[in-house]
Each structure stands twice: as structure tokens, then as C-alpha cells.
Amino acid sequence: MAFWRKSTLSRIENPCFLIFLIIFQAIFILLLYRGSSSVVLQDHLDIPNQVDYSKTEDVYTNLSLYAPVLDKTTMRYCTSDTVMNVGPLTITFDILPSERTIIDKNPYVQSGGCYSPPHCLASYKTAVIVPHRNRERQLHHFLYYLHPFLQRQQLYYCIYLIHQDGSGPFNRAKLLNVGVREALKDDDWDCLLLHNVDLIPENDYNVYICEEYYPKLMSSAIDVLDYSLPYWTFFGGVTALTPEHYMKINGFPNTYWDRDGENDDIAKRIQIVGMKIVRTPLVIGRYKTVDGTQLSDFPQEIRPQLHTRETWKDDGMNSLDFKLLAKKKYPLYMNITVDIGAAPMISLQGKKEGNKTSFGNL
């Protein structure tokens, strides 16, 4: 240090050297910034600092104003002029809505859970992909809120339920890979919205579209996590990636059976390929958990050692194998049933920790 100072001082009169020093420092700071943090907090548009969640509005408010235009040939593209955002939404789980109720309240949802605005041409296509097994109760609440929520945003969308067949360990990340592959056979989606079935968005300004450059965490603030990020690189719950983002990281890992860590693996993939995670601001990216899912569904600080750097290129979309058992249109969603195979014994016994691996639930 002292040596460096001395030799610098002796050259400091030289203006060329000064300029060189300044440029060098700027480059150093840039490198440091890129390297140290793979995550930037994104705030854009004019998002308010404070939102009053004690005043809420029904998610179906004025939705009937989005009615078919008589003359289709004069239909224009949807614009922000016609958006009817209400902000904070009233969300309760006291009454379980029946399928009939949800269908009746969403007359323009087509078979397979798809919707395109009847009053304007949607300029954005989002596939909502939901891993699922034995969560019918949560599914009903989810569909009751998600359909009108997405319609308010004037999106063209479909809801894909990826149903894991059998009773083996659940594999959320692999189901999402299946969902992405199947959804992309149907349409060239602008955005893949990967969604847990038990999370309900609380604010319709949380628009279900992707960021152009980086994967986005939509669920920045979940009720059971005290409406804050559990840790800085958290990338679970509800996330939005374009098909390009998704393929760039070779999709999600297929090898996380009934255990925590797949979200961290995904966050790591994003970092490895040189992308960042952007997030919906905390005041907007709020979610309520149906039936207050156990906290253990969201791993906190104790997280497994990852080997993503060694595994990501060989474990993902390019190694995905599954048996498609059914792809059936239901009135409110597409039900894709898959046999994703069984967890290999080595994974069940825990690769590194001998035989005392603990199992999370989900």
C-alpha cells in the first residue's frame, strides 16, 4: 500500500496518468458492482411509496365493462386508457367458490382457461403455469381471483395446470419445465408466469408481464414472510421469465425432489449466465397465502450447498424426460397430467448428508 502511494505520488503531476487512474477506477467500480450483486432492485413507472391496504376493492369490480365490441373490424389494440386498475384487492378465503360460480363470473374465459379481451386486441401474451397435486381447495380460490385479475390487465392469457401423477415426491421445478415445454407448443408466449397455486396477488398494478432483459420476481412480499424478502436472492413463489430467459438458463433443475433449494439453484443459474433478478416493488408485489401455507414451504436462511455451476448445463430443459398422460381442456384451465418418473434412490437418501436428509413438504 505504502509503496503504491509513493510511486503514485511521484507521477501525479503527469495529467495522462491522472486520467488513466480515473478511468481505471471507473472500470474497477463497474466490475465490482457487476460481480458483487447479481440482483438489482427494479423500480419503474410511478409506483407509489405507500399503498393503503385497508381500503380494498373487489377484483370483479366493473369487469363487465369489458364487453365484446359489436364490430370486430374496428377493434383497436388495448391501451392504458382502457385499463381499470383498482389497486389493492379484497381477498378472503372464508367461502370456497364453486367451479360453477367462477365460470359464471368469468363469461369470456374460454375452454382451457384462455382469455383474450373482448373489447380490444391484446398486445401481450402470458402463459400462467401452475404446478399442482391434491390442492383442489387452493386451486378454487386461485382461479376465482386469478381470472379477473388477469382480465383487468387486458392480457391474452391461458392458465396451465401441471398435474403430477402418482404419489411420489413432488418435483415443482421439473413440473415447471414440463409446463413450459407444453405451453410453447400451443403459442409463442411473450411471458411465462410461473405460479404457486396457493399465492394470490393483492394488487392489480402487479402486471403479469415479463421484463425484457431479466427474470422477474413477482412475489416480493408474501404475507407469511412478513411482506418482505426472506433473503436477498429469493426467487420463489411467483416469477416471470420470457422463453428466451428460460432457455438461456437451460430451464429449471429436474433433480429437486421434495426438498428445498430449487429456487436457489434457479437464482444461481440466472447469475451464472450473466443475468440479474428484478423485482416488483414491495408495496405492489404483495401476496396472500391461501390457508396460510406452512412457513417451511419457503426455505429461509438454512439452505443447502449448491452445485449449480457444475450441473446446470446438463440438468434442465435439455435433459427433461416425462410421460404426457393427458392434456385436457377444462372450463377454467388446461390440465396437463404427467408422469415425471420417480426420485432416484440416491436423492431420497441424500447425496451428501448420508441418510439424514430432512424432507420439506412441497
Q: Where are the alpha helices (DSSP H) in 37-135?
A: 99-105
Toward ligand NAG, which CB reaches closer, 29 or 325?
A: 325
Binders of ligand NAG among 142-161, rule CB under 6 A?
161
Cβ 75 vs Cβ 69: under 8 Å = yes
Min CB(135)–ligand NAG separation in Å? 8
Min CB(22)–ligand NAG separation in Å? 54
Distance CA 139, CA 137 (A): 5
The candidate with the shortest Cα–Cα distance to 220, out of 270, 288, 283, 285, is 285
Distance CA 292, CA 224 (A): 7
Q: Where are the alpha helices (DSSP H) in 48-205?
A: 99-105, 136-152, 172-186
Min CB(100)–ligand NAG separation in Å? 15
> Using the 8-state DSSP alphabet, how is residue 228 labeled?
S
* Cell reading at 84: 381499470
Binders of ligand NAG among 161-220, rule CB under 6 A?
161, 163
Min CB(166)–ligand NAG separation in Å? 10
Distance CA 190, CA 171 (A): 25
Stretch that binds ligand NAG, among 180-188, 273-281, 304-312, 329-337 (CB under 6 A): 329-337
Toward ligand NAG, which CB reaches closer, 304 or 331?
A: 331
3-state DSSP call for residue 55? coil
With CB under 6 A as the contact rule, the residue among 326, 353, 358, 359 that binds ligand NAG is: 326
Cβ 132 vs Cβ 114: under 8 Å = no
> Using the 8-state DSSP alphabet, how is residue 88 labeled?
B
Min CB(269)–ligand NAG separation in Å? 29
* Cell reading at 49: 411509496
- Tell whether residue 355 is a contact of ligand NAG (CB under 6 A): yes
Distance CA 123, CA 2 (A): 61
- Tell whether residue 140 is a contact of ligand NAG (CB under 6 A): no
- Tell whether residue 111 is a contact of ligand NAG (CB under 6 A): no
Min CB(84)–ligand NAG separation in Å? 6
Min CB(170)–ligand NAG separation in Å? 15
Site size with ligand NAG, rule: CB under 6 A = 15
Toward ligand NAG, which CB reaches closer, 319 or 337?
A: 337
AA identity, residue 142: F
With CB under 6 A as the contact rule, the residue among 84, 103, 122, 317 that binds ligand NAG is: 84
Toward ligand NAG, which CB reaches closer, 127 or 161?
A: 161
Q: Which residues of 117-150 are buried (b: 16+ CB within 10 A; e: fewer)?
A: beebebebbbbbbbbbbebeebbbbbbbbbbbbb
- Tell whether residue 10 is a contact of ligand NAG (CB under 6 A): no
With CB under 6 A as the contact rule, the residue among 86, 272, 275, 317 that binds ligand NAG is: 86
CA distances from 218 to 110, 202, 252 (A): 26, 11, 17
Min CB(360)–ligand NAG separation in Å? 19
Binders of ligand NAG among 13-72, rule CB under 6 A?
57, 61-62
Residue where the block lists cell 437451460? 250
Min CB(240)–ligand NAG separation in Å? 23
- Tell whether residue 335 is a contact of ligand NAG (CB under 6 A): yes
Residues of this chain that interact with ligand NAG (CB under 6 A) are: 57, 61-62, 84, 86, 139, 161, 163, 325-326, 330, 335, 337, 354-355
